[in-house]
Amino acid sequence: MTQGSLKLGTLAGIDIRVHYTWFFAFVLIAWSLALGYFPTANAGLGAGTYWVLGVVSALLLFGSVLVHELGHSLVAGARGIRVDSITLFIFGGVSNITKEASTARDEFLIAVVGPVTSLVLAGLFWLIAQVLPAGTALSGVATYVAFTNLLLGAFNIVPGFPLDGGRVLRSILWGTTGDMGPLHRTAPSVGPPQ
C-alpha cells in the first residue's frame, strides 16, 4: 500500500502515509458534510462555515482512523512484531505489519484493540458533544465524529476477513483448538459475503 502514497511523517517509529485515493474520499466526505449534514444539523450558518465544518470533520474522521490503526500498530510493537507503516486510503487505513502473530493471544490483542479504540473515541466525542451547548457547530462536529467512530468500531468487529472481527474470531478458534491451519477458511466463511 506504500506505492502511490505520500509520507506525512513518522510516529513511534512508524511511517504515516496517505495514498492518493485518500484525497478523493476526503473531498467527497467534506463536500457531503458541507452541503448535506451541517446545513440540516446546524441551520442558519453561512456556506463558508459549513465547508470549514466539513473539512474539520473529515480530518477528525481520518484522524480517528489513524488512531485506530495506531492502536493495532502499537500493540503489535509491544508484542515484538514490527510495523513499518500506516497508510490512509479511500476505504480507511491499513497497518503494514511485518509478520503474522505467533500466538493466539497476540493475534487477539492486536486485532481487538482497533475496534476498542474506535469505541473509546466514540465515547470521548459523545461526551464532548454533551458538554458543548446543544445545536452549536462544534457540538455538531463532535456528534458526527462520535457516530462515525461508533460505526467504525461496530463494523470492524464483524467476524469476517479482512475486518478485525475476523482476526478476533480466528484468534479465539486458534486458542481453543491450538491449531491455526484450518482457521483461514473458517473465519472468512462466517463473515459478510466478499
Give the separation between CA 118 and CA 156, rounded to whole angstroms.
9
Q: Which of 8, 3, 184, 20 is nearest to 96 (CA)?
A: 3
- Tell me the percentage of the chain whose pLDDT exceeds 90: 58
Q: Flag whether 194 is in a domain.
A: no
Between 97 and 182, the more confident residue is: 97
Q: Flag whether 189 is in a domain.
A: no
Just list the catalytic residues: 69
Q: What is the pTM of this model?
A: 0.86
Cα pseudo-dihedral 137, 134, 117, 59, rounded to 10: 0
Give the separation between CA 117 and CA 19, rounded to whole angstroms.
23
* Span 131-171, pLDDT tens digits: 999 888 899 999 999 999 999 999 999 988 778 888 899 88
Q: Flag whether 102 is in a domain.
A: yes
Q: Flag whether 76 is in a domain.
A: yes
Burial readout 13-33 (b: 16 or more C-beta within 10 A, e: otherwise): ebbbbbbebbeebbeebbeeb
User: How far is residue 166 from each of residues 68, 88, 122, measured CA to CA in Å?
Assistant: 16, 21, 22
- Give the pLDDT mean for 4-31: 91
Counting the structural domains of the chain, the total is 1
- Give the pLDDT mean for 22-34: 95
Q: Flag whether 192 is in a domain.
A: no
Q: Flag whether 140 is in a domain.
A: yes
Q: Is the pLDDT of residue 89 over 50?
A: yes
Show Cβ contacts of residue 182 under 8 Å, excluding neighbours closer than 6 positions: none
Between 146 and 90, the more confident residue is: 146
Q: What's the domain range around 32?
A: 5-157
9 - beta bridge partners? Answer: 16
* Span 181-193, pLDDT tens digits: 654 544 444 444 4
Q: Which of 61, 53, 33, 172 is nearest to 118 (CA)?
A: 61
Q: Flag whether 113 is in a domain.
A: yes
